[in-house]
A and B are shown apart, each in its own frame.
Chain A
Amino acid sequence: MTATATMTPVLQAKGLTKRYGRVTAIESGDLELYPGEILAVIGDNGAGKSSLIKALSGALIPDSGEIFMDGNPVHFRNPMDARTAGIETVYQTLAVSPGLDIADNLFLGREERKPGVLGSVFRMLDRGHMRSEARRHMTELGIGTLQNIGQAVESLSGGQRQAVAVARSAAFGSKVVILDEPTAALGVKEGNRVLQLIRDVRDRGLPVILISHNMPHVFEVADRIHIQRLGRRATVITPQSHSMSEAVAIMTGAAPPPPMVA
């Protein structure tokens, strides 16, 4: 991963700061995401992971600092701005509508209308096209075993719902996919299935930022591991350079942060 140093990051944060009154959530926060990698972001509670991610996905406006995409400065005023720029975020709270079906959820907020008068005057949705597209996206990620693309999301298990959310981000994220604790609520098997999904997304060329508390999961899929501590980046390690217990020690301050290895 030494090659990354010479590449332009797809997404880069420089000196992001966010304060709430006297509480500092992020203090000169930096982050680089390179093409084709899974970057894990770990840190203790209150280390500023969520604030950092929210700033990158437009859900929070930093007090100062800059965000770059492919080297160009960008400014996100809301989640829609980030999404338009090609950053898709799967939030911890899933962000799926349980009562709607899989296809509806995949296209929620960007439904496609029928061509011609039906679409322009009667605003009729092109349900057939959306369903076939939804099926294609799900199959591409190896989740084509879902029997019915028209079944309500609430009839799915936690892992299947997460799969729908990940499929949506992969289908529409043109630059970056951000996943916030995607395996937190899942069982062992379902968690592994989602990890495979994350790899599939990366292998399709989309870089992924993965926020997780689950060290085995992080060490299993991450190419690089960004350790956030006390509002700033302590260091970046790789699963090869350090062990899980070393990572936890750096995260909690029990060990001094080593120089960035990647």
Chain B
Amino acid sequence: MGQAELLGVMMATETTTREPEFEVRHHDSFGLRLQHVLHANPVLGPLAVLVVAIIAFSIVNPRFFSAPNLSLVLAQVTVIATLALGQTLIILTAGIDLSVGAIAVFSSILMANFATKAGMPGFLALILGLLCGTAMGAVNGFLVTRIKLPPFIVTLGTLTIFFSLNAVVSNSETVRGSDMPDLMTWTGTTIPIGGFRLTYGSIIMLLLFAYFFYALRSTSWGKHVYATGDDIEAARLAGIRTNRVLFSVYTIAGLLYAIGGWILIGRLASASPNVGVDYNLDSITAVVLGGTSLFGGRGGVLGTLIGALIVGVFRNGLQLGGVEVVWQGFAVGLLVLVAVSLDQWIRKVKT
């Protein structure tokens, strides 16, 4: 190509590409449009999975879609959903919390022992137990923000520490619900609503989700949580006190885990030091299935609630369908992999 010819081509390109410079580009293919829609509304994917799963399981076994069974599913997911709520806040800041189960179970043991061995009134034992859980979250937050350790390492350490303290305090003994004040097991009490039987624990859980849905969307704190997880350096340069945001998130998560511990006492009608080993991964599963990105800054608590329900619906539905327990885990594992792959794909949306 001669030089003059080349110049001509360049000039032609210059004139033909004169579209408005600050305008959004449009994609035409269906895949890309779907990618954009999911990117803008990350809850749609999990919601579709949940709806499809409910329909499918109802066809396989009509008993699935009955009020008693759906009430059971909700009761089964309540503890994990509450823990996953705290986990969501932390994952939104691009962190991770492995000490979820340890804090929840240790808090429940502390509450139970305050109320029985220490002979405190139920209300006081509850408040103290919640404060202890909050303090454990604050320890995580302190280590992450002040000592500048990666959240994975911090919570791996505190996971082990809290579980061993838990063994020491509980003396590896279960405290029976009947020995505790009524307030301790109140969360397991059911109230009939229509044909459904909701536990107070489930209602507390749903209220917490509603509250944090609001706080993340409509307060400065929420915006700062997203900004911190999105790009911590950019957030800091924008004047956000990122350490303060992170510390608040870990501390609030501790409180939420302790509330989860309280709900757990109601669910088990006892406080056992030997449960909760799976809670870490279960809570992360719910968060990931709900479309919150492990890289931070993307997602929300509504997705997590749906994610927790997906796990509950799958386990319950497969059981009713006569699938063995081992294969239920297999199915949930597959779901997680699909969800993370989807997240990767959605995140590739760029200009």
Q: Which of B21, B23, B349 contacts A147 (CB 8 A)?
A: B23
Stretch at the interface among B52-60, B107-115, B232-240: B232-240
Interface residue tally on A, bucketed by range: 35 or more
Whether B230 and A159, one on each chain, are in contact in the complex, defined by CB atoms closer than 8 angstroms, is: no
Q: Do A95 and B237 have beta carbons less than 8 Å apart?
A: yes
Would A125 and B22 count as touching, CB distance under 8 A?
no
Contacts of A109 in B (CB 8 A): 224, 238-240
A127 to B23, CA, bound (A): 23
Q: Tell whether A137 is near chain B: CB-to-CB under 8 Å.
A: no
Tell me which of A18-26, A98-106, A220-228, A235-243 binds B. A98-106
CA A83 to CA B236, docked complex, whole Å: 13
In the complex, the answer to whether B297 meets A145 with C-beta atoms within 8 Å is no
Counting chain A CB atoms within 10 Å of each CB, which of B229, B238, B239, B351 scores highest? B238
How distant is the Cα of A91 from the Cα of B235 in the complex, in angstroms? 12
A residues 141-159 with Cβ under 8 Å of B? 143, 145-148, 151-152, 154-159
Residue from A89, A108, A147 with most neighbouring chain B CB atoms (10 Å) = A108
Question: By the criterion CB–CB under 8 Å, are A111 and B238 in contact?
Answer: no
Closest B-chain residue to A153, C-beta based? B230
**Which size bracket describes the interface of B in this complex?**
20 to 34
A160 to B231, CA, bound (A): 18
Shortest Cβ gap from B21 to chain A (Å): 5
Q: A159 and B219: CB pair below 8 A?
A: no
Q: Quick check: is B223 within 8 A (CB to CB) of the other chain? A: yes
The answer to whether A96 touches B22 (Cβ under 8 A) is no
Q: Which of A95, A110, A155, A190 contacts B21 (CB 8 A)?
A: A190
The reply to whether A155 and B239 contact each other, CB–CB distance below 8 Å, is no
- Contact between B23 and A95 (Cβ–Cβ < 8 Å)? no
Contacts of B6 in A (CB 8 A): none
Whether B351 lies near A156 (C-beta < 8 A) is: yes
Chain B residues in 8 Å Cβ range of A100: 223, 226-227, 230
Chain B positions near chain A (C-beta within 8 angstroms): 20-25, 40, 214, 218-221, 223-224, 226-227, 229-231, 233-235, 237-240, 297-298, 349-351
Given contacts A125-B219, A157-B351, A189-B21, 16 further A-B contacts (CB under 8 A): A79-B239, A89-B237, A96-B238, A97-B231, A97-B297, A99-B297, A99-B298, A108-B235, A145-B20, A146-B24, A147-B23, A151-B24, A154-B349, A160-B22, A163-B22, A193-B22
Complex A-B: 21 CB contacts under 8 Å: A80-B239, A83-B239, A89-B237, A95-B238, A97-B226, A98-B231, A99-B227, A99-B229, A99-B230, A105-B238, A108-B223, A109-B239, A111-B220, A122-B214, A123-B221, A145-B22, A145-B23, A148-B24, A155-B351, A157-B25, A159-B21
